Amino acid sequence: MHNFSKDHVIILPHAEAYRAVFTVSLDEVVLTLNEPDLHEGLTDDKYTVEKTIDNKRIYIYYYKTYPLQGKQDELYAIVDFLSVTDEAGEK
Protein backbone atom coordinates (compact mmCIF):
# COMPACT_ATOMS: atom_id res chain seq x y z
CA MET A 1 0.00 0.00 0.00
CA HIS A 2 1.22 3.49 -0.84
CA ASN A 3 1.98 6.04 1.87
CA PHE A 4 0.61 9.53 1.27
CA SER A 5 2.25 12.67 2.61
CA LYS A 6 0.22 15.74 3.61
CA ASP A 7 1.07 17.50 0.38
CA HIS A 8 -0.25 14.54 -1.64
CA VAL A 9 -3.72 14.57 -0.07
CA ILE A 10 -6.40 16.67 -1.77
CA ILE A 11 -9.66 17.05 0.13
CA LEU A 12 -12.62 18.08 -2.02
CA PRO A 13 -14.69 21.00 -0.65
CA HIS A 14 -17.69 18.93 0.46
CA ALA A 15 -15.40 16.46 2.29
CA GLU A 16 -13.50 19.39 3.83
CA ALA A 17 -16.79 20.68 5.23
CA TYR A 18 -17.40 17.32 6.93
CA ARG A 19 -13.81 17.25 8.19
CA ALA A 20 -14.44 20.61 9.87
CA VAL A 21 -17.80 19.53 11.34
CA PHE A 22 -16.36 16.30 12.75
CA THR A 23 -13.11 18.06 13.84
CA VAL A 24 -10.82 15.58 12.10
CA SER A 25 -7.28 16.93 11.79
CA LEU A 26 -5.22 16.62 8.62
CA ASP A 27 -2.82 14.39 10.58
CA GLU A 28 -5.74 12.04 11.37
CA VAL A 29 -6.74 11.98 7.69
CA VAL A 30 -3.20 11.09 6.62
CA LEU A 31 -2.89 8.46 9.38
CA THR A 32 -6.20 6.89 8.32
CA LEU A 33 -5.07 6.78 4.68
CA ASN A 34 -1.64 5.34 5.51
CA GLU A 35 -2.42 2.98 8.40
CA PRO A 36 -6.09 1.97 8.12
CA ASP A 37 -7.74 -0.72 10.21
CA LEU A 38 -9.76 -1.62 7.11
CA HIS A 39 -8.96 -0.91 3.43
CA GLU A 40 -11.17 -1.83 0.47
CA GLY A 41 -11.13 -1.09 -3.24
CA LEU A 42 -14.53 -0.55 -4.82
CA THR A 43 -15.61 -1.32 -8.39
CA ASP A 44 -15.98 2.36 -9.29
CA ASP A 45 -12.24 3.04 -8.74
CA LYS A 46 -12.94 4.50 -5.30
CA TYR A 47 -11.21 3.22 -2.20
CA THR A 48 -12.45 3.20 1.38
CA VAL A 49 -10.44 3.23 4.58
CA GLU A 50 -11.50 3.13 8.21
CA LYS A 51 -9.54 3.71 11.39
CA THR A 52 -10.33 4.18 15.07
CA ILE A 53 -8.47 7.09 16.67
CA ASP A 54 -9.24 8.40 20.17
CA ASN A 55 -12.64 6.69 20.51
CA LYS A 56 -13.87 7.82 17.10
CA ARG A 57 -14.10 5.79 13.91
CA ILE A 58 -13.02 7.72 10.80
CA TYR A 59 -14.37 6.70 7.38
CA ILE A 60 -12.80 8.04 4.19
CA TYR A 61 -13.67 7.40 0.55
CA TYR A 62 -10.94 8.47 -1.86
CA TYR A 63 -9.55 8.14 -5.37
CA LYS A 64 -5.92 7.59 -6.33
CA THR A 65 -4.40 9.70 -9.08
CA TYR A 66 -1.00 10.44 -10.56
CA PRO A 67 0.17 14.01 -11.29
CA LEU A 68 0.32 15.20 -14.88
CA GLN A 69 3.94 16.15 -14.30
CA GLY A 70 6.07 14.56 -11.64
CA LYS A 71 7.88 11.44 -10.67
CA GLN A 72 6.43 8.07 -11.63
CA ASP A 73 6.17 7.00 -7.99
CA GLU A 74 4.15 10.05 -6.90
CA LEU A 75 0.57 9.23 -6.03
CA TYR A 76 -2.15 11.54 -4.75
CA ALA A 77 -5.25 10.78 -2.70
CA ILE A 78 -8.37 12.76 -3.57
CA VAL A 79 -10.72 12.55 -0.58
CA ASP A 80 -14.34 12.51 -1.74
CA PHE A 81 -16.15 11.64 1.50
CA LEU A 82 -15.31 11.76 5.19
CA SER A 83 -17.42 10.73 8.16
CA VAL A 84 -16.96 9.91 11.82
CA THR A 85 -18.81 7.78 14.34
CA ASP A 86 -18.02 7.18 17.98
CA GLU A 87 -17.08 3.68 19.14
CA ALA A 88 -20.76 2.94 19.78
CA GLY A 89 -21.47 3.59 16.09
CA GLU A 90 -23.28 6.94 16.49
CA LYS A 91 -22.55 9.95 14.30
- Indicate the pTM of the whole model: 0.86
Q: 70: domain CATH number?
A: 3.30.2310
Helices first, then strands: H and E counts in the chain:
2, 5
Q: In whole angstroms, give the CA distance from residue 26 to residue 45.
A: 23
Which residue range is the domain that position 65 belongs to?
Answer: 6-86
Number of domains in the chain: 1
Residue 50 lies in a domain: yes
Residue 91 lies in a domain: no
26-76 pLDDT, tens digit per residue, is 999 999 999 999 888 876 788 999 999 999 999 999 999 877 776 667 889
- Cβ contacts of 57 within 8 Å, gap of 6 or more: 50, 51, 84, 85, 86, 87, 89
Residue 1 lies in a domain: no
